[in-house]
Amino acid sequence: MTTKQPVRVAVTGAAGQIGYSLLFRIASGDMLGKDQPVILQLLEITPALKALNGVVMELRDCAFPLLADIVTSDDPMVAFKDVDYALLVGAMPRKAGMERGDLLGANGGIFKPQGEALNAVASRDVKVLVVGNPANTNALIAQQNAPDLDAKQFTAMVRLDHNRAISQLAEKTGKPVSSIKNLTIWGNHSSTQYPDLSQATVDGQPALDQVDRDWYENSYISTVAKRGAAIIEARGLSSAASAASAAIDHMRDWALGTPEGEWVSMGIPSDGSYGIPEGLIYGFPVTCKNGQYEIVQGLPVSDFSRGKMDATAQELTEERDEVRKLGLVK
Ligand SMILES: NC(=O)c1ccc[n+]([C@@H]2O[C@H](COP(=O)([O-])OP(=O)(O)OC[C@H]3O[C@@H](n4cnc5c(N)ncnc54)[C@H](O)[C@@H]3O)[C@@H](O)[C@H]2O)c1
Ligand SMILES: O=C(O)C[C@H](O)C(=O)O
């Protein structure tokens, strides 16, 4: 029997399609371990509380041994009270033909009050993951409105891109996903992201020795970067189960650590590493230990990589300028 004290996990947009995959996996111990009880604190807008109640009924019907309690609210000051983890999912998804950045006007305003509420009532050690798009700049908005928390506590999800990049490479090389290590998603969770194979290995051998350079530069990068749009085109709805799975991976690795000698990609505040403007929430290669992440330093950067890394940083700078004009960040 477990003796650990429950931790509090907030999920926003909990009645949405990502929420419907995510909550059950958190409650079953996939995110924080099979010995860690959780209290779910679920935030929705008022008209969605009835649907959320249905999801809560289903959660209870699973009789998850690790699910200690469930709180629901339409008030972030209630949902974020004392939370140790916050997964900010609630936001409008894009439709076919839109870029994620087109959602800034509709979604940016959600993250200012949520940042303020986290600042006021969350655990001082809260770990925040922003999933709602455009995720990097929404994370920046939340962070800038939570001045009493450490900037490093706010992260954005590029793990879905990271997982897509692994899967595409596995398919191309005919090797299992478990044989692929150390690729990086640099930059924005958008079509300017840079899935970088220059340090990646397949079965311990350089990935770029095992694929054609032309395929890498002219097919692979755009397939990974535009996968979200391909899912919307096929499903008529944006990715949900895979997004939830990536959120689980992101939080699990941050909380419990990355395997020795391996890194993952997280959207985190730039400290100026690799010449990326300080403060942007940018995808970097990171290792995690004891609940902290660190940027992998000293990787060589080719001219090809430099161009791609700067282009996605430029897009994030423009998004920051846009939300500054909207008064959402300083
Ligand atoms: N970063 C990524 O890799 C990634 C991947 C997939 C989807 N997304 C994004 O995640 C977001 C959610 O996607 P979804 O498919 O679950 O959408 P959805 O429309 O199914 O669900 C969103 C939910 O958020 C709720 N919501 C809206 N405003 C809210 C607020 N202020 N507070 C709390 N809840 C609020 C809505 O009522 C709805 O139930 C979208 O912005 C989508 O683009 C990001
Ligand atoms: O593409 C989208 O708009 C949804 C999500 O960000 C994704 O990458 O699947």
22, 100, 137: residue to mutate for ligand 2 pocket, most atoms within 8 A of CB? 100
Distance CA 135, CA 300 (A): 27
25 is in an annotated binding site: no
Would you say residue 107 has pLDDT above 70?
yes
Say how many Å lie between the CA of residue 295 and the centre of ligand 1. Answer: 28
Say how many Å lie between the CA of residue 251 and the centre of ligand 2. Answer: 18
Task: Tell me what the mean pLDDT of segment 95-118 comes to.
Answer: 91
CATH of 7-156, picked from 2.40.50.140, 2.60.40.3680, 3.40.50.1100, 3.40.50.720, is 3.40.50.720
**Pick from 136, 235, 228: which is nearest to 189 by CA?**
136
45, 164, 227: residue to mutate for ligand 1 pocket, most atoms within 8 A of CB? 45
Distance CA 75, CA 26 (A): 22
Atom 9 in ligand 2: residue holding the nearest Cα: 228
- Residue extents of the structural domains in the chain: 7-156, 158-320
Q: Which residues line ligand 2 (CB under 6 A)?
A: 93-94, 100, 133, 160, 228-229, 231-232, 238-239, 243
Nearest atom in ligand 2 to 239's CA: 9
Distance CA 42, CA 192 (A): 32
The number of CA neighbours under 13 Å toward the Cβ of 229 is 13
Indicate the pairing of strand 85-88 with strand 127-130: parallel
Would you say residue 192 has pLDDT above 90?
yes
Would you say residue 1 has pLDDT above 80?
no
Each residue of 8-19: pLDDT tens digit? Answer: 999 999 999 999
What pLDDT is recorded for position 101?
Answer: 86
What pLDDT is recorded for position 3?
Answer: 80
Each residue of 298-316: pLDDT tens digit? Answer: 999 999 999 999 999 999 9
Say how many Å lie between the CA of residue 106 and the centre of ligand 2. Answer: 16
Each residue of 38-65: pLDDT tens digit? Answer: 999 999 999 999 999 999 999 999 999 9
Whether pTM > 0.95 for this model: the answer is yes
Nearest atom in ligand 2 to 93's CA: 3
- Which residues, 6+ apart, have CB-to-CB distance to 67 below 8 Å? 27, 37, 38, 40, 59, 60
Atom 7 in ligand 2: residue holding the nearest Cα: 228
158-320, CATH topology level:
L-2-Hydroxyisocaproate Dehydrogenase; Chain A, domain 2 (3.90.110)
Say how many Å lie between the CA of residue 190 and the centre of ligand 2. Answer: 8
